[in-house]
Amino acid sequence: MTVTLADVAARARVSPATVSRVLNGNYPVATSTRDRVLRAVDELDYVLNGPASSLAAATSDLVGILVNDIADPFFGIMAGAAQSEIGGPGDGSGRAGGEKLAVVCNTGGSPERELTYLTLLQRQRAAAVVVTGGALEDPDHQAAMAAKLAKLADAGTRIVFCGRPPLPDSDAVAASLAFDNRGGARRLTEHLLELGHRRIGYVAGPLERTTTRHRLEGHREAMRAAGLSGDEESLTVHGPYDRSSGYDATCELLSREGTVTAVLAANDTVALGACAAVRDHGLRIPEDVSVAGFDDLPFSVDAVPALTTVRLPLAEAGARAGRLAMGKEKPPAGGITTIEAELMVRGSTAAPRG
């Protein structure tokens, strides 16, 4: 039986006019009401089975790029590179008509917003969706993501993950480009160990993110291999991926008994906060405390001293994701590829004093 606008309205306990306003986006609607309507649309498959059912297998000229924080260069670089590939002809012929409109969807790290954007892209019959960055490690959200992506794929939307590991038990994703976060963190820690550091503080990202876990696992693997396990929890502080988190966490690490001689930061932005905290404690980098980051964002080489970090090829990965989304490049064998991380040794790390 065909699902109608009235069916969606009844499920969401709103009027048909409110459903229309939410779907058309042409009138302000309370967030809670909007979420309820979109949930009803999703549950009833209104996008796929409603009046536009004859077009369900067709796709539009729209491509969605989901990011956690567009102000973060990590996401901005990938999104910009992907958009450059998406904006050109999809068949490589140079003929007009293959261009797509790339829309960047900023989730703010909210799992609810991530699902909402996917619902909206489903309704627009998006040609492709590129999902960037680490994933939330929550079974319920992972199941909801898998179900939503399956619906998009069934409707003809190509799904590409960029910088995100594949979803468990899901084959809806056409390609997953995952960064070697574990390997990069392990090599960075090994670099500090080779310099002679033994008390290494770690400023980690949010607990529930895959990127956080993988980088922390790589760090701890190197520490265990050096026979330095046992103080992991006391030397680790979790927080958001921002400068203030790096500052506050480093202040905490420096105030604890048995001062650290090096600080590893979850990313380069966090590392800048760590550097500021070290200086505000009257200490020098790297003479008193070494500091290292992750990602090799553009400002890293211009920091004073230049930041030791792990380079992820963000622009290259984003461009590849864009080509995969457009069908310009074949997916990797098995649909999954791991992108290597490169250690970049600069002036912010040195042997500890004494």
Tens of pLDDT, residues 196-217: 999 999 999 999 999 999 999 9
Instruction: Provide CATH 1.10.260.40 ranges for the chain.
Output: 1-56
Instruction: Provide CATH 3.40.50.2300 ranges for the chain.
Output: 181-311
Which pLDDT score, from 0 to 100, does residue 88 have? 63
Which pLDDT score, from 0 to 100, does residue 16 have? 84
In angstroms, the CA 212 to CA 207 distance is 6
Q: Report CA-CA distances (Å) from 163 to 133, 137, 313, 321.
A: 5, 15, 10, 10
DSSP state of 292: E
pTM for this model (two decimals): 0.83
Fold of 1-56: 434 Repressor (Amino-terminal Domain) (1.10.260)
Which pLDDT score, from 0 to 100, does residue 1 have? 61
Contact between 268 and 296 (Cβ < 8 Å): yes
Q: Which CATH architecture has domain 181-311?
A: 3-Layer(aba) Sandwich (3.40)
Residue 6: count other Cβ atoms within 10 Å of its Cβ. 11
Which pLDDT score, from 0 to 100, does residue 204 have? 97
Q: What is the mean pLDDT of each run of 10 residues along the chain (354 residues)?
A: 82 86 73 85 65 49 95 96 82 53 94 93 93 93 92 91 86 89 98 97 95 97 93 93 97 88 97 98 97 97 97 97 94 90 98 87
In angstroms, the CA 302 to CA 257 distance is 32
In angstroms, the CA 255 to CA 277 distance is 11
In angstroms, the CA 270 to CA 158 distance is 34
Which pLDDT score, from 0 to 100, does residue 20 have? 80
Residue 31, Ramachandran bin (φ over 0: left; ψ between -120 and 50: alpha; else beta): alpha
Residue 243: count other Cβ atoms within 10 Å of its Cβ. 18
Question: Cis omega before residue 73 (within 30°)?
Answer: no
Q: Write the pLDDT tens digit of every residue in 56-68.
A: 444 689 999 999 9
Question: Cis omega before residue 166 (within 30°)?
Answer: no
H or E stretch including 271? Answer: helix 268-280
202 burial level (CB within 10 Å; 0-12, 13-18, 19+): buried
In angstroms, the CA 243 to CA 7 distance is 47
Angle at which helix 16-24 crosses helix 5-12, to 10 degrees, equals 100
